[in-house]
């Protein structure tokens, strides 16, 4: 069965698999065309459910999934795609779709497909990898142990191994020099950390918080070094939002307020990440980054929602129980009609409207939201 997230392909495509020289020629032609017209030739996306565009649909044992209604209700044809959203997520808006009339952000025509949708499909793989691939997996984290209780997720370390495979495939087609050049101009978008914190906090609270954050930073550093060694140079990073304000956490708080302990973790994680990137970019020649402060971006919206057209900041659009935060968005859940007025789509994730706002802020925002410069400036770094 064709998975819901795959792009339509001519029925002939499968028979091309054996004709590898044709595939090669086509791929090379596309690379040449593409490099000529884009600042950022490809985007490789890694992370968790905030960036997952259907990875977990390919993991039958995974319970971290969104490939059922009402997810996707505002996606073209109201299709549930595995995105934890009523429509697109931030990875899509950064990816980028312009066939819907959205502005062309990083110069891409649309968001890269999940790696697992390309595996074992040579023609699709070669067609897409020159523009980028999405490895993000809902429920995953920086630590391999994060998400273990969800049946199966792909931790960041394994996502990087998958990227190494893609790099081999690029090298096989383009040769090492062109691959190195392509990767050095590409953006590596990473949105991760929340699940590690949720996981740790749920069993340890605030005990040994400093040690935990140091361990997390050290793991992040290992991952980034691995990516750098594989040719990644430009990093677009999204830090952890005020996760204590998610409907699921408000529902657990007797006062209905944000769980401040978790927000403290989110702020500390941002500082840690900022220090890490500042250090690594001075150590590694050619490494540049733009770090989005999802905490500040979200707080700005919560404090001042009206200019953004938002009216409901606490209750999820889709879910059940207190703040619609006690159950995931399943076909029997409550669902709101004015979805663009909601900050939260479900118990953890933002609506499509807020995902788009986040992408626009990352792309063109001021220093308070994205440092040391914004994603559009990152795209232009030579
Ligand atoms: C790809 O092929 C390998 C080996 O045949 C198999 O183990 C794997 O499950 C396949 N992956 C997908 C996503 O179909
Ligand atoms: C991609 O690379 C991997 C690892 O080197 C290899 O196993 C796989 O066959 C390659 N895929 C294609 C389509 O060349
Ligand atoms: C962010 O990006 C825009 C271009 O999109 C640029 O003109 C602007 O100067 C940047 N803003 C800041 C505060 O750096």
User: If you average pLDDT over residues 333-359, what whole number do you get?
Assistant: 97
Q: How far away, in angstroms, is 129 Cα from ligand 2 center?
A: 12
* Token pair in block for residue 360: 């626009």
- Residue 68: the pLDDT is 98
- Residue 5: the pLDDT is 39
pLDDT at residue 208 tops 70? yes
Q: What angle, rounded to 10 degrees, do the helices at 260-283 and 294-303 form? A: 140
Between residues 124 and 266, the one the model is more confident about: 266
Confirm or reject: Cβ of 129 under 6 Å from ligand 2.
no
Q: Is 331 exposed, middle or buried (0-12, 13-18, 19+ CB in 10 A)?
A: exposed
Q: Report the distance separating Cα 224 and Cα 288, nearest Å.
A: 12
Tell me if residue 231 falls in helix, strand or coil.
coil
Q: What is the CA radius of gyration of the chain?
A: 20
- Integer angstrom CA distances of residue 126 from 132, 182, 318, 349: 10, 14, 38, 32
Q: How far away, in angstroms, is 117 Cα from ligand 2 center?
A: 14
Q: Is 349 a catalytic residue?
A: yes
User: If you average pLDDT over residues 220-224, what whole number do you get?
Assistant: 98
pLDDT in tens, 23-63: 333 343 333 333 333 478 889 999 999 999 999 999 999 99
pLDDT at residue 10 tops 90? no
User: If you average pLDDT over residues 270-294, what whole number do you get?
Assistant: 98
Give the count of alpha carbons within 13 A of 89, CB side only. 31
Q: Which residues neighbour 201 within 8 Å (Cβ) at sequence distance 6 or greater?
A: 261, 262, 265
Q: Give percent of the chain with pLDDT exceeding 90.
A: 77
* Residue with CA nearest ligand 2 atom 7: 165
Q: Is 20 a catalytic residue?
A: no
Residue 125 alpha carbon, nearest atom of ligand 2: 13
Between residues 35 and 288, the one the model is more confident about: 288
pLDDT at residue 371 tops 90? yes
Evaluate whether 81 touches 112 at the Cβ level (below 8 Å).
no
Between residues 29 and 205, the one the model is more confident about: 205
pLDDT at residue 368 tops 80? yes
Q: Is 15 exposed, middle or buried (0-12, 13-18, 19+ CB in 10 A)?
A: exposed
The closest ligand to the CA of 124 turns out to be 2
Residue 236's H or E segment, with its range, is: strand 234-238
Confirm or reject: Cβ of 337 under 6 Å from ligand 1.
no
Q: Which residues neighbour 146 within 8 Å (Cβ) at sequence distance 6 or greater?
A: 139, 140, 153, 155, 195, 196, 199
pLDDT in tens, 111-166: 899 999 998 888 888 888 988 999 999 999 999 999 999 999 999 999 999 999 99
Q: Is 346 a catalytic residue?
A: yes
pLDDT in tens, 68-87: 999 999 999 999 999 999 99
* Token pair in block for residue 296: 């500040």
Q: Is 210 exposed, middle or buried (0-12, 13-18, 19+ CB in 10 A)?
A: exposed
* H-assigned helices in the chain: 20-37, 90-95, 115-118, 122-129, 156-174, 176-185, 194-204, 209-229, 247-252, 260-283, 294-303, 352-364, 375-380
- Residue 376: the pLDDT is 86
- CA-closest candidate to residue 179, choices 197, 166, 191: 166
Q: Report the distance separating Cα 338 and Cα 283, nearest Å.
A: 48
Alpha-carbon torsion, ordered 159, 163, 165, 166, to 10 deg: 140
pLDDT at residue 287 tops 80? yes
User: If you average pLDDT over residues 196-205, what whole number do you get?
Assistant: 97
For each of the domains in the chain, give its residue range(s) and CATH number, in order of start: 19-313+350-380 (3.40.50)
- Residue 202: the pLDDT is 96
pLDDT at residue 236 tops 90? yes
| pLDDT class of 350 with cuts at 50, 70, 90 | very high
């Amino acid at each position: 069965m064709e998975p819901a997230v795959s792009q339509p392909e001519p029925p002939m495509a499968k028979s091309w698999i054996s004709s590898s020289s044709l595939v090669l020629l086509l791929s090379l032609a596309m690379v040449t065309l593409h490099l000529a017209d884009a600042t950022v030739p490809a985007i490789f996306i890694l992370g968790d459910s905030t960036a997952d565009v259907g990875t977990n649909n390919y993991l039958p044992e995974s319970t971290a999934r969104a490939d059922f209604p009402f997810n996707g209700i505002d996606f073209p044809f109201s299709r549930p795609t595995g995105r934890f959203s009523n429509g697109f997520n931030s990875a899509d808006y950064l990816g980028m779709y312009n066939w819907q009339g959205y502005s062309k952000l990083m110069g891409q025509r649309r968001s890269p497909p999940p790696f697992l949708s390309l595996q074992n499909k040579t023609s699709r793989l070669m067609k897409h990898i020159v523009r980028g691939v999405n490895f993000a997996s809902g429920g995953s984290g920086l630590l391999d142990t994060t998400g273990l209780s969800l049946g199966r997720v792909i931790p960041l370390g394994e996502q990087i191994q998958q990227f190494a495979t893609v790099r081999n495939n690029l090298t096989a087609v383009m040769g090492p020099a062109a691959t190195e050049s392509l990767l050095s101009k590409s953006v590596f978008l990473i949105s991760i950390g929340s699940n590690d914190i949720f996981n740790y906090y749920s069993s340890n609270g605030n005990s040994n918080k400093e040690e935990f954050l140091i361990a997390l930073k050290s793991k992040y550093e290992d991952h980034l070094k691995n990516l750098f060694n594989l040719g990644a140079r430009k990093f677009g990073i999204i830090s952890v939002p005020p996760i204590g304000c998610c409907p699921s956490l408000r529902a657990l708080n007797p006062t209905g307020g944000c769980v401040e302990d978790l927000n403290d973790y989110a702020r500390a994680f941002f500082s840690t990440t900022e220090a890490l990137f500042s250090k690594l970019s001075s150590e590694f020649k050619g490494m540049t980054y733009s770090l989005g402060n999802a905490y500040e971006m979200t707080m700005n919206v919560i404090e001042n929602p009206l200019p953004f057209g938002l009216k409901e900041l606490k209750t999820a659009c889709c879910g059940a129980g207190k703040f619609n935060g006690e159950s995931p968005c399943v076909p029997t859940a409550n669902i709101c009609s004015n979805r663009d007025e909601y900050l939260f789509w479900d118990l953890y994730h933002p609506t499509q409207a807020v995902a788009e706002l986040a992408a626009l802020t990352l792309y063109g925002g001021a220093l308070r939201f994205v440092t040391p410069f914004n994603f559009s400036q990152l795209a232009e770094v030579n």
